[in-house]
Amino acid sequence: MEQMYSIKRAANLLEVEPKEIMILGRKAGISFYRVGDSTRISEPGLRSIAHLVTEGTPQMLSISRAAEILDISTKTLRRLILTKDIQTYEVGSRIRLKQTDLEVLVSDRG
């Protein structure tokens, strides 16, 4: 029998939010299973999502981490976001920035 993981356990293993597991899984066409009151993912499905998290999608950063990388304050970064100098993405209920977008911002201003 195939190993099954709860969404919460899968999220803990990959160090992402449970919503991100669901979003990535749907994008990749991975099946989720209902077992009692719990939604579960198979081990092969979890491996596929792990691949997406580590290699298949650009690294997504929090505002505080992005500001740290750019060596600016979070207030300055939020101002750049408001003036549309850098794009943001909603991942679950959190705001994220792509590391590649930060690199473009730095090269355009450099």
HEC letters along 35-104: ECCEEEEEHHHHHHHHHHHHHHCCCEECHHHHHHHHCCCHHHHHHHHHCCCCCCEEECCEEEEEHHHHHH
- Global pTM reads 0.49
31 and 46 inside one domain: yes
17 and 51 inside one domain: yes
35 and 71 inside one domain: no
Q: What is the mean pLDDT of the chain?
A: 85
49 and 67 inside one domain: no
Domain finish residue from 56, 79, 96? 56
Tell me what pLDDT residue 14 has: 85
How many structural domains compose the chain? 2
65 and 101 inside one domain: yes
Q: How confident is the model at residue 103 (pLDDT cuts 50, 70, 90)?
A: confident
Quote the domain boundaries for residue 77.
60-109
pLDDT, one tens digit per residue, over 31-79 is 999 989 999 999 998 988 887 776 655 678 889 989 988 899 999 999 9
| Mean pLDDT along residues 12-32 | 87
